Amino acid sequence: MKFNVLAVLIGAACLNATSALASPSLNDYIDQSISDNYRIKSLQAQHDLEKTRWDQEDQFYLPSFSIDHTTKTHMMDGQEQVGIRPFDNRAHESNVNLRSNIWRDNHQDVQKMLGSKADAAGMNVEIEKSNIRAQITTSAYNIYLYERLIAEGELILEKARVIDRDIRRKVKGGLAKASDQTNAEVLINDMESAILATKLKIKQLHLNLEQVSGVPYPKDMQLAPKDVHSLIYKTPSSGIESNKALVKKSLDVQAANQSIDAADNWMSVDLYAKTKADDLTFSRMDSEVGVMVTMNLFNPASYWKEKTSAYQHSSEKYMLDQMHADLALSLQSQLSILESNHRLLSTQIESISIKDELIKERQNEYQINQTSLYELIQAWNGYYTAIQMKTDTEATLVNTMLSIDVLTGEI
């Protein structure tokens, strides 16, 4: 019997452990959202396209090989020749050509330019991944904070309703004023309305989150309180050099600069071989192998291409400078908001502590008839309002900290 009981306990423990392991994590949810995102797939395809162009230039030396085969029929003039039917005098001619560009003076410049473009296209993928990760994390953490607020609010509301029932009994017995009952009802309605508003806020957060992710948000999502706490109180970075949009723009500037030198191809060297066959018999007289050197002594198209590339580089460089200034200003603003809300959160935590003491004092005073039930329920209402304000501040801190992480390239 003891063995059976032990087996049941072990089985239940294993089942609970399996259920806990099966619960999705936020990172798993984000990874799934990213893998199913069509915009990311599109950007990845664009990255693959740019890499293919780079590969093409990297293997510029691969030869081209062609064969053209012609079957000729000689038309006869006048009468037929003895023993020869019309159109029987067919001939076959084949030309085989092989050509390979073995050197081009702007090859390395073109290769660098295409490499920078490929890296910029790859950075577009990373930017989109960061945005999705930041938006989903923001919504998920806010949902967690507001669900915790509702749970605590419903506990407080239940205590307030117990006090309200006591007030009603006292009013009926003539031991309390009717206004106490009315005021208690107002306070309870305020708390109920606040909880309902929070539930609607959670519903909107769910909609926003699923719109970004494209994947339904799991009801059994596991979030650790320490993760939210760590994010709120982490020390933010103060540099924007790793900002992914800024890195991408730097690559655009780099590619534009490299395109100036890549615009002009002054000299190229090609290796070629060709031969000719009549009636499938190769002719040594018509076969040759050689090296062809091409020099573009004057090409207006290259001049204008180089000039427009120079202007494009200047434009990209100015945009990079402006982006750097804008991002630096945005980071300063977010850091200022972060500091202000940290100070606000500290005062709100202190206020909650004071209100908690006030509830204890009024509870003691009520026991010795020094305070009314209405004053006690009012203290609970003030306590809930303080928790609600604290939660709103924590949600703002989550939003601000993740905005900073995007600005600094940490996410």
Residue that is written with structure tokens 């392991």 in the block: 21
By the 10 Å C-beta count (0-12 exposed, 13-18 middle, 19+ buried), 382 is classed as: middle
Q: Is the pLDDT of residue 129 over 50?
A: yes
Q: Is the pLDDT of residue 211 over 70?
A: yes
Q: Is the pLDDT of residue 77 over 70?
A: no
16 inside domain: no
364 inside domain: yes
* Angstrom distance (rounded) from CA 267 to CA 221: 63
Read off the CATH number of the domain in which 249 is found.
1.20.1600.10
Q: Please give the pLDDT value at position 82.
A: 53
By the 10 Å C-beta count (0-12 exposed, 13-18 middle, 19+ buried), 219 is classed as: exposed
Q: Is the pLDDT of residue 371 over 50?
A: yes
Which one is predicted more confidently, 195 or 86?
195
Per the structure, the count of domains in the chain is 1
Mean pLDDT to the nearest integer, 141-155: 95
How many C-beta atoms surround the C-beta of residue 407 within 10 A? 25
Q: Is the pLDDT of residue 14 over 70?
A: no
Q: Please give the pLDDT value at position 282.
A: 67
Q: Please give the pLDDT value at position 47.
A: 97
5 inside domain: no
Q: How far is CA 49 from CA 35, 55, 122, 379, in A?
A: 19, 10, 10, 65
Nearest Cα residue to 35 out of 133, 137, 135, 143: 133
Q: Is the pLDDT of residue 97 over 80?
A: yes
Q: Structural domain of residue 144, as residue ranges?
A: 25-71+89-408
Q: Which of 68-72, 184-188, 376-380 has the lowest mean pLDDT?
A: 68-72
One-letter amino acid at 215 equals V
84 inside domain: no
82 inside domain: no
Q: For the chain, what percent of residues have pLDDT higher than 70?
A: 88
Report DSSP letters for 243-302, one per residue: -HHHHHHHHHHHHHHHHHHHT---EEEEEEEEEEEETTEEEEEEEEEEEEEEE-S--HHH
Residue that is written with structure tokens 């919504």 in the block: 139
Average pLDDT, the chain: 87
67 inside domain: yes
What is the tens place of the pLDDT at every residue in 308-353? 999 999 999 999 999 999 999 999 999 999 999 999 999 999 999 9
Q: Please give the pLDDT value at position 83.
A: 53
Q: Please give the pLDDT value at position 8.
A: 44
* Angstrom distance (rounded) from CA 81 to CA 50: 64
Q: Please give the pLDDT value at position 280.
A: 65
Output the CA torsion sign for 195, 196, 201, 205. Answer: positive
Q: Which of 94-98, 107-111, 339-343, 401-405 has the lowest mean pLDDT?
A: 94-98
Mean pLDDT to the nearest integer, 99-125: 94
Q: Please give the pLDDT value at position 370.
A: 61
Q: Is the pLDDT of residue 303 over 60?
A: yes
Cβ atoms of residues 92 and 67 within 8 Å: no
244 inside domain: yes
What is the tens place of the pLDDT at every residue in 216-272? 998 888 888 899 999 999 999 889 999 999 999 999 999 999 999 888 888 999 998
